[in-house]
Amino acid sequence: MTIPVNHKTQLLLTAAATAFTTYSLLSIYQSRSRQKRRNDLAEGIKRSLSEQTSSNRIQPSPSSLLPAPGTEYAEHLVREQLARNYAFLGEEGVARVRGSSVVIVGCGGVGSWAAVMLARSGVARIRLIDFDYVTLSSLNRHATAGLADVGTPKVQCVARALQGIAPFVRVDPRVELWRSGTDGADLLEGADWVVDAIDNIGTKVELLAYCVRNNIKVFSSMGAGTKSDPTRIQIADLSATHYDPLARAVRQRLRAVLSRSSPPTPPSGPDTDSDPDALSPSSTASEYSIPVVYSTEVPGDVALLPLADAELAKGSVDELAPLRDFRVRILPVLGPLPALFGLHIATYVLCELAGRPLERPLPVRHRKKLYERMWKDLLHRESRIARKQINALPLTQTDIALLYDDFALGRSIVPPQAACVRPALVRWDSRLPLSLENCVVAEFKEAERAVRSVFATPQDGENRDDGIPTTAPPPNDYVDALGEPIDSALLLQGYVPTSPEELWGIEAAKIAQNRIAQARRFREWALQ
């Protein structure tokens, strides 16, 4: 039977109306449900805000892992907490750390971060020394301080946090100012390492001098104030620091203090205070190796905040200091920088304690003058080898920075691979052109030896006929820096050239091959 068209239309309209009504009712229900949830949430927030009790604050969740007062933290929990350290440092390394003692002098922005990470890493005993108190201005950089800690001693603030993080660590907070003498000696007694995170230069020098005289290992922070570039942070020996006014002042004053207690040693190298690009200090400064963290960033135009007129009316600035020679104005500090300084310290000390010291920390970078000088020396050396003027080299200053800082780590290829006083570059293989893969770092005098012995090139002012009499023919496969053949008639006559292996030894040859392979890997990686 055929349904009339008008009846079909009526059925379709009815179905559409039913669907629309269902959709509308569902939408209204969902909308009202959302509105109800929003109203409930708003009411809950109002109730919370209206309750003037401690419940308004976020409370930490109670942990069943916290040991009861007077009980020990279970050993299996300690091992689980330090599991990643065990994986990295090994059983013996972590055992060394867990049996160690560290004294941290200064518990502000730098010292607090060092303390936290040393405790998290399992250092057994940590003594905290600082006479200062937490202020509101401390909160932009301090590792553990909160609003509730303002007005309390910094050492107690840090100690509470460390006990909550690592209850197996013995923390000894001392609200004291470190001074040399009997009291100062007692505070450092039994320390495997001392961390100097002191702001005041006088006390800093006093502490460093005491540690040097008493053979106590000390790591010093040269201050993170007025700095903002994290890529310029370095670890180096105090004697090898550059571009840092505080490090320079500490170095000079420490040298003066120690010279009064011991006879001076004649310098054997350039004085770093007169040559900002010199890499090695006088022998006097190098006798006491003090690792430091500092920044090569050129100081900006930020300065101490001025004192208010009301404060100045109380007396001179010196008279307002809490102690003699201490700063009374606020030093501008970008919060993350002290944290990075403290983490550098903790990493270095931790590796030393574990028996896995950092392999020759990378020296200071961004030494444009040094790279320029090394490039010019190399150009002059290669011109002498080629017996003609060479105006360009196939190495840039960036390549020289790679060779010196990243591949050689600032050390000579000649055993015992000491830090260079006057670093120089020299080709390794006289039969290949100059390249990243065919260039090594040596002391300047060693590079000059190689020019004569390996490349059969007279020294400046030496006649080419001054060689050792021999009937051996001169080599005919030598090339210059650009790969052009060198006429054997121009070589040092009557002289048998030697190989770098014969000149510097098998150990130097092994190191050279490793650096050549490293340079090759870098070039392959950089060209991908």
From residue 422, give the alpha-carbon distance in Å to each of 277, 442, 443, 451.
10, 9, 6, 16
Conformational region of residue 160, where left means phi above 0, alpha means psi within -120 to 50, and beta covers everything else: alpha
Q: Report the distance separating Cα 132 and Cα 153, nearest Å.
A: 6
Confidence of residue 298 (pLDDT cuts 50, 70, 90): low
> Which has the higher per-residue pLDDT, 498 or 447?
447
Number of Cβ atoms within 10 Å of the Cβ of 366:
17
**Residue 276 belongs to what H/E stretch?**
none
What is the share, in percent, of the chain residues with pLDDT greater than 70?
73
Question: 470 pLDDT exceeds 60?
Answer: no
- 64-73, 213-222, 292-301, 482-491, range with greatest mean pLDDT: 213-222
* Mean of pLDDT values over 333-350: 93
- Residue 462: pLDDT over 60: no
Q: CA 178, CA 131: separation in Å to the nearest integer?
A: 8
Contacts of 64 (CB under 8 A, 6+ apart): none
Residue 363 Cα distances to 236, 411, 510, angstroms: 6, 10, 23
Q: Indicate the pLDDT class of residue 261, thresholds 50, 70 and 90.
A: low
pLDDT at 456 over 80: no
Per-residue pLDDT at 319 exceeds 50: no
pLDDT at 519 over 80: yes
Residue 311's pLDDT band, with cuts at 50, 70 and 90, is: very low
Least confident of 132-136, 293-297, 310-314, 392-396: 310-314
Average pLDDT over residues 41-58: 53
Provide the pLDDT for residue 81: 95
Q: Which residues of 311-322 are buried (b: 16+ CB within 10 A; e: fewer)?
A: eeeeeeeeeeee
Q: Which of 104-113, 173-182, 446-455, 503-512 has the lowest mean pLDDT?
A: 446-455
- Work out the pLDDT band at 318, boundaries 50, 70, 90: very low
Task: Quote the CA–CA distance of 43 and 412 in Å, as a whole number.
Answer: 72
> Which token pair is 151?
């007005």
Between residues 479 and 465, the one the model is more confident about: 479
Identify any residues that bridge with 479 across adjacent strands, giving them in sequence order. 485
Burial, 245: exposed, middle or buried (Cβ in 10 Å; 0-12, 13-18, 19+)?
exposed
Tell me the C-alpha distance between 462 and 116, whole Å: 62
Q: Is residue 234 pLDDT above 70, yes or no?
A: yes
Query: CB of 175 within 8 A of CB of 131?
Result: yes
- The pLDDT assigned to 110 comes to 95
Whether pLDDT at 346 is above 50: yes
CA triple 434-437-441, angle to 5 deg: 80
Using the predicted structure, report yes or no on whether residue 45 has a pLDDT greater than 80.
Answer: no
In this prediction, residue 330 carries a pLDDT of 57
Contact indicator for 486, 387 with CB cutoff of 8 Å: yes
Q: Say yes or no to pLDDT of 393 above 80.
A: yes
pLDDT for 187-223, tens place per residue?
A: 999 999 999 999 888 999 999 999 999 999 999 998 7
**Inter-residue contact 194 to 142 (CB < 8 Å):** no
Q: Are strands 218-221 and 233-237 parallel, antiparallel or unpaired?
A: unpaired
Please tell me the least confidently modeled range out of 186-195, 222-231, 416-425: 222-231
CA-to-CA distance for 90 and 383, rounded, in angstroms?
52
CA-closest candidate to residue 420, choices 402, 441, 437, 398: 441
pTM for the whole thing?
A: 0.61
Mean pLDDT of the chain: 79
Most confident of 299-303, 374-378, 413-417: 374-378
Q: Which residues pair with 170 in a beta bridge?
A: 125
Q: Which residue has the higher pLDDT, 172 or 62?
A: 172
Nearest to 112 by CA among 333, 335, 334, 342: 342
User: Could you give the 3-state DSSP secondary structure of residue 178?
Assistant: coil
Strand, helix or coil for residue 58: coil
Half-sphere exposure of 526 (CA within 13 A, CB side): 9
**Exposure class string for 268-278: b at 16+ Cβ within 10 A, else e:** ebbebeeeebb
**221, two tokens:** 């922070």
- pLDDT band per the 50, 70, 90 thresholds, residue 161: very high
pLDDT tier at 280, thresholds 50, 70, 90: very low
